Amino acid sequence: MPTPEQIPIQHEREARPMKRRHSASYYVHRARDSLTTRVSKIVCGIFLTLLFIGGVAAFIAWLSLRPHRPRIHIRDFSIPGLDQPTGFDNAEIIFNITARNSNQAIGYYYDSVEALVFYRNQMIGSAPLVDSFYQEPKNTTIFYKVLSGATLNVTSDRWMEFRNDRALGTVVFRVDITGMVRFKVSTWDSKRHRMHTNCDVGVNPDGSILASYKNKRCLLGLLVLCLWLSLRPKEPKFAIIQFSIPTSSSSENPRATFSYVLEVKNSDKESSIYYDDILLSFKYKQDMAGNNTVPGFNQGKGNNDDQHVPPVEINQRVWRDLAKEIPQGTARLNVELFTSIKYKTWGIKSKHHKIKYQGAVPIGSDGKIKDKKKKVKLRRSKK
């Protein structure tokens, strides 16, 4: 009866004579093989070690360079007069919020930082905090603000609601800090990122901050977390070019038109932009001189389009005054552009963004853009 153990023994007996037959060359070969194996093992080892050290170094560099987001803390918040039934007459909200740049080597540029105060998701006040400033690494900036009068919208009904909450022990508000931030790493500047933080804050019946909310870190909006280091599409750029208007009015034909070309630039390398109808209005002083619409279109990545528009009829009453000023070379038309755009980045469409741009076309005595300038760039305007 062959047991399982017997089978390998038989194999060994058959194998041995074969090995003996080739012994000399076989062992030389094997020695050579093991030498090359050892050399390649050492080379591999060195390579892997270098790779590991390189990886660790890169990881440390990444850790130290990785931009930390601004750290926003609520230090103080109070609404004095909360204990008075008619306090809304001269209601005030006072807050102290700090923004820290905890990076070692990265500075921030802040732009249009604003504070908005909410009560039950209704905005009750807002105020700009800083327009634009540079915050160096390891710096803390204090946003201290008193909201009152025109910056605060507290009605007697609202005050009653505060008072009802107060009777239960706490009134909870929310402060949102919004703005734009860019990073600066030595000489390189990042794109602008939207910052949006919100801090819930509760106050005592006397209107002072509850201890449990003091020095709390504010949450960065989820959107910001996701978009933080992702690519935010660049806004399109608009300019008026080839502007031309008659230099005088004729009495037999009081009608006149002006013409221009709208230059539209999408400098974003990753996103195409879909424009809804673009409405352009041109005002002379306070009066509408003319307006027209550029039909919506789609613009590919990094494209530059010139939108030719039909001549724009000038309001006759306005033309009478405007025509008088043109020969003097001091006339100007204020342009406003409204549209709504959608970005498409890597196949993903954004939601609609309403945008408004504005600018002024200075008109030379030749009826063209003054001083032989080629274009009038339009600036993005906030509301």
Ligand X SMILES: *[C@@H]1O[C@H](CO)[C@@H](O)[C@H](O)[C@H]1NC(C)=O
Compute the Cα dihedral for 14, 15, 16, 21 and give only its sign.
positive
Angle at CA 351, nearest 5°, toward 345 and 353?
105
Q: Is 228 helix (H, G, I), strand (E, B) or coil?
A: coil
Q: Is the dihedral of CA 245, 248, 249, 252 positive or negative?
A: negative
Span from 50-58, 134-142, 170-178, 246-254 in contact with ligand X (CB under 6 A)? 134-142
Report the C-alpha gap between 358 and 353 in whole angstroms.
16
One of 80, 84, 96, 161 touching ligand X (CB under 6 A): 96
SS3 193: strand
Rank residues 122 and 230 by Cβ distance to ligand X and give the closer one: 122
Does residue 315 bind ligand X (CB under 6 A)?
Answer: yes
Stretch that binds ligand X, among 138-146, 253-261, 262-270, 340-348 (CB under 6 A): 138-146
Sequence-distant (6+) residues with CB within 8 A of 154 are 88, 91, 124, 125, 162
Q: Does 316 bind ligand X (CB under 6 A)?
A: no
C-alpha closest to that of 112 among 194, 189, 32: 194
Q: Which is nearer to ligand X, 151 or 345 (CB)?
A: 151
x-marked contacts with ligand X along 262-291 as a string, rule CB under 6 A: -----------------x-x------x--x
Nearer to ligand X, 57 or 288 (CB): 288
Q: Is 198 in the site for ligand X (CB under 6 A)?
A: no
Q: Which structure tokens are listed for 292? A: 């027209």
Rounded CA-CA distance 53/96 in Å is: 45
Shortest distance, CB of residue 129 to ligand X, whole angstroms?
A: 13
What would the two tokens of residue 220 be?
């960065």
Binding flag, residue 340, ligand X (CB under 6 A): no
215 to 254: interface string for ligand X, x by CB under 6 A: ----------------------------------------
Among 122, 132, 212, 298, binds ligand X (CB under 6 A): 122
| Residue in the block written with tokens 């732009």 | 111
144 binds ligand X (CB under 6 A): yes
- Tell me which residues touch ligand X (CB under 6 A): 75, 96, 98, 122, 139-140, 142, 144, 153, 279, 281, 288, 291, 315
